[in-house]
């Protein structure tokens, strides 16, 4: 029996921080779109549920453990992904952490940890993956920014990192465009995940009240779900989105600026 030809839009995608939350939804969506997906998170064992869900639905996924802020770990992970799934040409920089505090209480460690995962992580992953994209003369990078990039009390580190990712996105779009690589950012508003649950806990507000408070400010009248962000990522990754680059898309149930 001859093997079925590979559809032209079947690529290898890497989604960081994909063990849960928004990353898991993006990984599932890209797999449903026909791509092979590397589900990358800090610990490989934590990726099992995401990987299993994809493989059980007829997709192809492998779990990879790596700290995106560690250059050696990133190089090893991207090398392994290329060997196991084929050269990665789609990258979603989604891994993220919060270390919220008002400026006068924010420690050096809080600052460095957030910069390390969001900014250094996106830099290291993008640098490693672009080698494969340039080789393939095709690629997609999607970075997860946030409405916090516009300023948010208690998040000087996170807001700076998420605003930084917007400048990073636009610069990579300029540098990599000639290789048919598009680079865009999604800036989610309030999305129900462990991250928003942790914030509610930190500020001491019961989660349902915390959600209701957020929803009161959202024009479409509901909280966001990880699938809302996955739909935006799916669009940026599409073959026919090749003229959309260097953009920041606020996915927040209403306008943001
Ligand atoms: P989440 O539920 O906390 O998931 C984040 C994932 O990233 C976790 O699996 C985490 O692993 C992983 N991760 C953390 N540090 C890592 C590292 N150094 N290397 C590899 N993986 C790492 O967060 P989420 O709500 O889905 O958010 C996903 C992205 O969207 C983040 O960039 C976040 O800033 C952004 N975002 C979220 C919202 C929202 O409302 N939820 C809004 C705007 C933007 P561990 O579990 O081991 O820590």
User: What's the average pLDDT block by block, 10 residues per block, for the chain (257 residues)?
Assistant: 58 98 98 98 98 98 98 98 98 98 98 98 99 98 98 97 99 98 99 95 95 98 98 98 98 95
User: Which pLDDT score is estimated for 147?
Assistant: 98
Q: Is 68 exposed, middle or buried (0-12, 13-18, 19+ CB in 10 A)?
A: buried
- For residue 177, the CA-to-ligand 1 centroid distance in Å is 28
- For residue 127, the CA-to-ligand 1 centroid distance in Å is 20
Residue of minimum CA distance from atom 17 in ligand 1: 67
User: Which pLDDT score is estimated for 3?
Assistant: 57
Cβ burial 150-160 (10 Å sphere, 16+ → b, else e): eeeebbbbbbb
- For residue 69, the CA-to-ligand 1 centroid distance in Å is 13
Ligand 1 and 82: CB distance under 6 A: no
Query: Is 158 known to be catalytic?
Result: yes
Residues with Cβ < 8 Å from 172, sequence gap 6 or more?
126, 130, 141, 181, 183
Q: Is 44 exposed, middle or buried (0-12, 13-18, 19+ CB in 10 A)?
A: middle
Q: Which of 96, 112, 161, 189 to mutate to test the pocket of ligand 1 (most atoms within 8 A of CB)?
A: 96
Q: Which of 24, 42, 152, 162 to mutate to test the pocket of ligand 1 (most atoms within 8 A of CB)?
A: 42
User: Which pLDDT score is estimated for 199?
Assistant: 92
The CA-atom distances, in angstroms, between 107 and each of 41, 83, 104, 110, 226 are: 25, 40, 8, 5, 30
Q: Would you say 200 and 214 are in contact if contact means Cβ atoms under 8 Å apart?
A: no
User: Which pLDDT score is estimated for 257?
Assistant: 81
User: Which pLDDT score is estimated for 9?
Assistant: 72
User: Which pLDDT score is estimated for 107?
Assistant: 98
User: Which pLDDT score is estimated for 198?
Assistant: 93
């Amino acid at each position: 029996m001859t093997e079925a030809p590979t559809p032209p839009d079947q690529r290898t995608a890497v989604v960081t921080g994909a063990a849960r939350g928004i990353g898991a939804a993006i990984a599932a969506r890209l797999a449903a779109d026909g791509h092979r997906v590397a589900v990358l998170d800090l610990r490989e064992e934590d990726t099992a549920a995401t990987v299993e869900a994809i493989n059980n639905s007829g997709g192809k996924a492998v779990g990879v453990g790596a700290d995106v802020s560690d250059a050696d770990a990133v190089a090893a992970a991207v090398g392994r992904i290329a060997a196991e799934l084929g050269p990665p040409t789609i990258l979603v920089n989604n891994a993220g952490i919060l270390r919220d505090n008002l400026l006068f209480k924010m420690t050096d460690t809080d600052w460095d940890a957030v910069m390390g995962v969001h900014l250094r992580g996106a830099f290291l992953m993008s640098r490693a993956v672009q080698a494969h994209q340039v080789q393939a003369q095709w690629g997609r990078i999607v970075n997860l920014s946030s409405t916090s990039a516009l300023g948010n009390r208690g998040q000087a580190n996170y807001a700076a990192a998420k605003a930084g990712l917007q400048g990073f996105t636009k610069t990579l779009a300029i540098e990599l465009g000639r290789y048919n690589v598009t680079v865009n950012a999604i800036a989610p508003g309030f999305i129900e995940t462990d991250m928003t649950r942790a914030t509610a806990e930190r500020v001491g507000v019961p989660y349902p009240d915390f959600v209701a408070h957020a929803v009161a400010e959202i024009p479409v009248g509901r909280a966001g779900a990880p699938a809302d962000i996955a739909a935006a990522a799916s669009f940026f990754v599409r073959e026919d989105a090749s003229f959309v680059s260097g953009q920041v898309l606020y996915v927040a149930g209403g306008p943001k600026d």
